[in-house]
Amino acid sequence: MRALRILLIIAVVLGGVFVAVDRAAVYFAESEAEDRVTFGEAEAGSTDVSIKGFPFLTQVTGRELDRVDVTVKDVRADAAGRTVRISEIRAQLREVTLGAGYTSATASRATGTAVISYAALTEAADEGVTVAYGGDGKVKVTGSVQIPLLGKALTRSVLSTVTLVDGDTVKVHADEVPGEGIPGLEDLVRKKTDFERGIGGLPEGLELEKIEVAPGGLEISMSGADIHLAG
């Protein structure tokens, strides 16, 4: 019995040591990955990596990680000469294969959400236009329109619908505009309030699928396959 107790104690101690070593290896790998991970051609402010699954050491030995969660903040995506700032991208990566020397990684499958704040959407709009949450799945767009006949500018706000076009473009379109029906006035207002902005620079294979208007900003769901992350 005494020998059995000793064996049990040794097993527990060794198990604890293995867990500690495994967790330490995870923390080190996450730190290294945060410096190496690139998310397409877009410029990012910061990256946070969380490697899931246990044990980590057996996964890394086999060069395939079950799941890796990546949060990228302040992503600046260029499209058609305009910059759209994505406040945050949260991605869940599955079956991540590590390349030779652990300098590259490719995710077999990926899902995630990109968030564009209203401040960032205002930056992407035309000069003098502001965008805010309008409630009930709409955005409120406010802009100043110069009326030639009146010889002055009028500031108007409209509720607009936001849609995703061709899988890579955010479209903002006013449901109704003040003075609709007056010749020329609607076009003047819409030139300010209606706009489209492409989202470029994201990893190849990652597709934007659906957009929702939320109080904190536009939330765009995405998914893809064979996503190249680093190297």
Does the pLDDT of residue 82 top 80, yes or no? no
Q: How far apart are CA 228 and CA 86, in angstroms?
A: 19
Q: What percent of the chain has pLDDT over 70?
A: 65
Does the pLDDT of residue 3 top 50, yes or no? no
Q: In this predicted structure, what is the pLDDT of residue 219?
A: 93
Does the pLDDT of residue 101 top 80, yes or no? no
User: Which of the residue ranges 97-101, 181-185, 196-200, 209-213 has the most confident prediction, judged by mean pLDDT?
Assistant: 209-213
